[in-house]
Amino acid sequence: MTIISKIDLDLFTVIWNQMQNQSTPQVHLQILRWLEQTWKAGDTRLLLMAFRACGKSTCVAIFCAWLLYQNPDIRIMVIAADDMLARKMVRNVRRILERHPLTIGLIPKKADQWASDRFTVQRQMELRDPSMLARGITSNVTGSRADIIIYDDVEVPNTSNTTEARDDLREKLDETRFILTPNGTQIYVGTPHTYNTIYRTKTVDDCDAYLKDFMDLRLPILTQEGRSILPERFDISGIHAMQKQVGPNKFASQMMLEPMNIAEGRLNPDGLQFYDAMLDYTEIMQKPVLHLNGKRLVSCSSWWDPAFGLASGDASVWALIFTDEDGQYYLHHIEYMRIN
């Protein structure tokens, strides 16, 4: 595959961001430089892990636009957990190509080659497959060919919350390898949603390394010194507030990229705070407003754990939980119900 020598990815990105009146965070440059270096080195098995809302998919979209700028004959397939997510990246790349001053000449003359889930740029070779194609992990991709497959957030709760779902995900991912051209490139992009995550390059405990021998770049939100790697968007106080709100396990998984075993989770009684305040109900402009402990409540959940056994057995349990505007939870009432 011949790569035409043009401007590097750094400059391509800076030009684009300046057009959008945006700066280029240092962590984005780190991602983009890693992608460019591995591409030029011929590395074909890559894993990019970065914390939620880091902008990793945006960086990969710019990288895809740059690849088409370098070589319009490249074919890229984006596979995500569902069609909508995959189309989102394809649309992003299409917008970059439409507006970047260096890629105007790639826009096709025929409108039918510029769809939301696929598009074909102006290229020299006559190829059956489009320049870029979006597909959900459950879509039929038999017969397609791609030089690069981007696996963008294929692991989500729906594809990883049970053993059956995880096995099914791995089986579908295995099938996509037949789409790749010889020496084609695979790039996984995501964050772990389960302890048995696919985003492992080394076997840990009894968890297999699905991406064994893949080169990886891992970017947790905090450095070893405890500093934010994206201070423009996440300051330390905001990160600590997020950790408190979502809990230590979810924060470790989604923001620190450390797969957590739910079997090791436990309730920390030291985190419980008792209160005896009453609910304060008012109406503002004929809309109900509820406060507790001076905080406005924004949601309410009711949980029922029914008992279907004998009357002399376990009791049914009903719980009422409120959430305030700061994300604090209130276990306001628990009722045990027995059949007399």
Query: Are residues 213 and 163 located together in one domain of the fold?
Result: yes
Residue 114 lies in a domain: yes
Whole-prediction pTM = 0.80
* Half-sphere exposure of residue 97: CA atoms within 13 angstroms, side-chain side: 27
Could you tell me the residue range of the domain that residue 326 belongs to? 274-337
Query: Are residues 259 and 162 located together in one domain of the fold?
Result: yes
* CATH number assigned to the domain comprising residue 101: 3.40.50.300
Mean pLDDT by 10 residues, the chain (340 residues): 68 95 95 97 97 95 97 96 94 96 92 90 89 94 92 94 93 94 96 93 86 96 95 94 86 92 68 86 88 90 79 79 85 81
Task: Report the pLDDT value the prediction gives residue 192, as an integer from 0 to 100.
Answer: 94
Task: Report the pLDDT value the prediction gives residue 265, as an integer from 0 to 100.
Answer: 64
Task: Report the pLDDT value the prediction gives residue 1, as an integer from 0 to 100.
Answer: 42
Residue 50 lies in a domain: yes
Task: Report the pLDDT value the prediction gives residue 137, as an integer from 0 to 100.
Answer: 95
Task: Report the pLDDT value the prediction gives residue 110, as an integer from 0 to 100.
Answer: 86
Task: Report the pLDDT value the prediction gives residue 340, as an integer from 0 to 100.
Answer: 62
Contacts of 161 (CB under 8 A, 6+ apart): 193, 194
Task: Report the pLDDT value the prediction gives residue 3, as an integer from 0 to 100.
Answer: 43
Query: Are residues 303 and 213 located together in one domain of the fold?
Result: no
Query: Are residues 321 and 230 located together in one domain of the fold?
Result: no
Task: Report the pLDDT value the prediction gives residue 327, as an integer from 0 to 100.
Answer: 75
